[in-house]
Structure 1
Amino acid sequence: GNMKDKKSVDALILAFDIKRGDPRESAAYIDALGVSGDPRAVAPLATAWDYLRSMILQMGELPGHLQVVRWKILEALSRIGGDQAVRILSEALNESDLRVVEEAVRGLGRLQVRNSVPALQQLASGATGNLLQAIIEALGDIGDKRAVSTLEQAISNPDKYIEVQVSYALAKLGRKEALERLNGFLKGDPGEDKVGLLAAYYLVKLDKTSGLEHLEAMMK
């Protein structure tokens, strides 16, 4: 299958043209290149990223369907990895489009890029909502002890979902009390906040049977 895969990626790379293609078609090619995991796909994705950046400089703002293409490029790069992908994801943390920043954060978490921890910590100080959730989850996935101070500040967040995510990230860093807190969220489920399901998901990510048992019980 390997030779066949190589040929199909070659065909995708040849067919993918951000300048000429219909945005929906481009998005489909980008997804396929990301799924391929082939390092050769990084160069055409990087070229497309640069092209869209130059369009922003000319137009000020991209139409919605092209904004989606930018998120997709970051997601695809994070599935392939490598130095160039990490560089683009790291630079994208400085973008003004928060959805792009969020995708970059998720990508750096997925690739467990330890060098991105200080930038993620800085970003966390002003972040809220989805972006803050993404940062906390990324810090958990990266699992670097430097993140503890940022996570401990976020634990007092009134948003229960964020509290669950912080507990996951701290548990990943070996904090026993955070693991107990996650298990505690299962007890009152579903409850008003409906966070038990999320807590169970993170417990499964931490290889804890309590999470799996909780999910199985809910499905009965």
Structure 2
Amino acid sequence: MKPSPVPFQTLLARLADPDSLVRRQTIISIMRRRNERGQAFASLLALLNDPEYQVCKAAIQALSDLGDSRAIPALIPLLTHHVSRLRLRALYALARLDRKQALPHLITALHDQTRSVREEVARILGRVGDARAINPLIAALDDADWHVRAAVANTLGRLGDVHAVDALITVLGDEKESVRLEVVRALGALKDARAVGPLIAALDDADWHVRKVAATALGRLDDVRAVDPLITELGDVVMAVRVEAAISLSMLGDARAIDPLIALLGDAEKWIRKTAVIALGILGDPRAVDPLIAVLDDADADIRAVVARALSMLGDARTV
């Protein structure tokens, strides 16, 4: 027989238990009582001042889950708490309860003394999605810590505001490859013509991840200035870069890419051959028909199947 649940008033009383483990477990138990847990609002507010980190953390999470914006005034003092993880928990809760009220506090937290807080706040601002954060985020691109700069660049790309383009371009020379990678990714997402030249320059980056993402970004920008540089990247020493360059060339739709892509049909790497076949099918140039027919005897069945589809896309009678 299933035991009767603990009376809710008993649970509320346990929130004052001298044992912090009991207080913490009681918060968890209360939050499982979906039909009654709202009654614990005032008691949970009081626990925001609990001396034990784990109890205070659980109370913040519980108030966030309750979704009652009346908790906001009580959460704000925690933004100056000496424990950085609690400051961050409070910021999470504020953003969840009321994005508009949370925004100025999030912007202020971009200057928090702790790197992990600044980094995560940059990401939260991306989820909040308010354009008023653009200029503070642009300023944060100068943060002393590369983790923060990378997170800020990522968020600026997600927010989709082209006012960030010039500032992002200036960070393309960052000493840390992870920052350059996020900047390139953001510029690709923003799709602004001002970024074409800088992204072409990024194809020469020492880090292959940056080169790969730059190749992808240039395909998204749909600017023919990228065609010749991307053709050059078909010879990159890293296969992943070559694959992305071929894909982007197919997206740009420029006939200059046909012969270089045909040359890749004999590449030793299967993924290079496969990508070249797909790209040629998308480009739809009849010059590719005979070279593709020649690849129908490729030793790899997957390649042969892709070739057949590409030839079908080209619609040449000799392939029927």
TM range (shorter): 0.5 to 0.7
Match of 1:171 among 229, 250, 259: 250
Q: Where does residue 105 of structure 2 map in the other structure?
A: 14
The answer (yes or no) to whether the contact 1:13–1:44 under 8 Å persists in 2 is: no
The answer (yes or no) to whether the contact 2:160–2:189 under 8 Å persists in 1 is: no
Letter of the aligned partner of 1:107 in structure 2? A
The answer (yes or no) to whether the contact 1:39–1:81 under 8 Å persists in 2 is: no
Task: Describe the shift of the 1:94–1:6 C-alpha distance in structure 2 as closer, same or farther (beyond 3 A).
Answer: farther
Rounded to whole Å, the distance in 2 between the matches of 1:155 and 1:137 is 13
Q: Which structure's relative contact order is higher, taking Cα pairs within 8 Å and 6+ residues apart? A: 1
Rounded to whole Å, the distance in 2 between the matches of 1:93 and 1:112 is 16
Letter of the aligned partner of 1:48 in structure 2? A
Rounded to whole Å, the distance in 2 between the matches of 1:107 and 1:148 is 20
- Provide the secondary structure at the position in 2 that maps to 1:20: coil
Task: Describe the shift of the 1:90–1:6 C-alpha distance in structure 2 as closer, same or farther (beyond 3 A).
Answer: farther
Residue 36 of structure 1: how far off its partner (Å): 2.6
Q: Where does residue 156 of structure 1 map in the other structure?
A: 235
Asked whether 1:138 is paired with 2:217, we answer: yes
Asked whether 1:25 is paired with 2:117, we answer: yes
Residue 94 of structure 1: how far off its partner (Å): 2.4
Rounded to whole Å, the distance in 1 between the matches of 2:227 and 2:179 is 25
Cα deviations by residue, 1:8-52 (Å, 9 ceiling, x for unpaired): 1441431442333532232222112112322111122123334x2
Match of 1:71 among 145, 150, 154: 150
Asked whether 1:47 is paired with 2:146, we answer: no
The answer (yes or no) to whether the contact 1:9–1:33 under 8 Å persists in 2 is: no
Alignment gaps of 5+ in structure 1: 57-65, 186-191, 207-213, 215-220
Letter of the aligned partner of 1:131 in structure 2? V
Match of 2:189 among 93, 110, 114: 110
Residue 146 of structure 1: how far off its partner (Å): 0.6
Rounded to whole Å, the distance in 2 between the matches of 1:172 and 1:101 is 24
Larger Rg: 2
Q: Where does residue 36 of structure 1 map in the other structure?
A: 128
TM-score normalised according to structure 1 size: 0.67
Task: Describe the shift of the 1:6–1:92 C-alpha distance in structure 2 as closer, same or farther (beyond 3 A).
Answer: farther
Moved more, 31-40 or 80-89: 80-89
Q: Where does residue 52 of structure 2 map in the other structure?
A: none
- Provide the secondary structure at the position in 1 that maps to 2:105: helix
CA RMSD of aligned residues (A): 3.5
TM-score normalised according to structure 2 size: 0.48
Rounded to whole Å, the distance in 1 between the matches of 2:213 and 2:141 is 22
Letter of the aligned partner of 1:30 in structure 2? A
Letter of the aligned partner of 1:13 in structure 2? P
Task: Describe the shift of the 1:110–1:15 C-alpha distance in structure 2 as closer, same or farther (beyond 3 A).
Answer: closer
Task: Describe the shift of the 1:160–1:36 C-alpha distance in structure 2 as closer, same or farther (beyond 3 A).
Answer: same
Residue 73 of structure 1: how far off its partner (Å): 0.4
- Provide the secondary structure at the position in 2 that maps to 1:138: helix
**Aligned residues: percent identity?**
25
Q: Where does residue 92 of structure 1 map in the other structure?
A: 171
Alignment gaps of 5+ in structure 2: 1-94, 283-305, 307-320
The answer (yes or no) to whether the contact 2:122–2:137 under 8 Å persists in 1 is: yes
Letter of the aligned partner of 2:104 in structure 1? I
